[in-house]
Amino acid sequence: MKKDEPPLDFPDTLEGFEYAFNEKGQLRHIKTGEPFVFNYREDLHRWNQKRYEALGEIITKYVYELLEKDCNLKKITIPEGYGVIVLNPNENYIEVEKPKMHVQSTSDSADEPAEKRERKDKVLKETKKRRDFYEKYRNPQREKEMMQLYIRENGSPEEHAVYVWDHFIAQSAAENVFFVAHSYGGLAFVELMIQREADVKSKVTAVALTDSVHNVWHQEAGKTIREWMRENCCNWVSSSEPLDTSVESMLPDCPRVSASGAARPAATRRSQRTQPEEL
């Protein structure tokens, strides 16, 4: 952290960030009308990244609300007892506070001279003080030590995609299923295709990918999967070209087209138009 870095204290609403979605579903600054700018403050990459993540959390909630309200989707926890929403394939763990470690005295500590025990205690306290100061300096927002508790059968986005398919989508009455997958979600979808190819083909009508990081070669997707993706998938990627302009791809799978610098809103608009029965 730089000495002159501002506090990592950000608004918790779109209005607080002075952003809003317009009638076209595009995120724009309410005063200037400009798209989101990542480098809000020069030479403060870490602060800009944290600001981006804070805004992303708000947009995630906004998209969930759209999916529930406009697409008639439901929030479901998996497995029972875990507060994880199946709409987000990246929420594969919950954060819990780490139990505090207590330093226990050794068996012979009672036999030590009082002066020696006092010196030891002083050293331990100073060491903890320095460590706490370092942690606070490194991350001033960090108030508690957290640990990740991975969810059974959902320990990775790939596992999660298969779990949701087996327990919800495959068992639903929906005949025309539409997927919207962003970034790593595209990789998770291709893995789902590899593991459940026939089932996916029988229920899924179309897939909208946004800046997907899948790779059919590295994931060893077969010829029949690549052919299906060419016919049923489209990947909207960040580009300065006009919306839906064809973008060259090095991979023999699905078409790539420009999202005109706004991959997420473009995909969101399409998901609203198609009115998917399941996601």
Largest CA distance in the chain: 80
Tell me if 207 sits within 8 A of 190, measured CB to CB. Answer: no
Tell me if 30 sits within 8 A of 22, measured CB to CB. Answer: no
Tell me the C-alpha distance between 14 and 110, whole Å. Answer: 59
Which helix (H) or strand (E) segment is 81 a member of?
none
Q: What residues does 77 pair with on adjacent strands?
A: 85
CA dihedral 57, 62, 68, 74 (to 10 degrees): 10
What DSSP designation does 104 have? P
Tell me the C-alpha distance between 65 and 273, whole Å. Answer: 16
Indicate which residue of 156, 183, 238, 239 is catalytic: 183
Q: Is 183 a catalytic residue?
A: yes
Tell me if 182 sits within 8 A of 212, measured CB to CB. Answer: yes
Tell me if 28 sits within 8 A of 22, measured CB to CB. Answer: yes
Tell me the C-alpha distance between 134 and 122, whole Å. Answer: 18
| Phi/psi of residue 22, nearest 5 degrees | -85, -175
Listed in sequence order, the residues at least 6 apart from 261 whose beta carbon sits closer than 8 Å to its beta carbon are 35, 238, 239, 240
Question: Any idea which residues carry the catalytic annotation?
Answer: 183
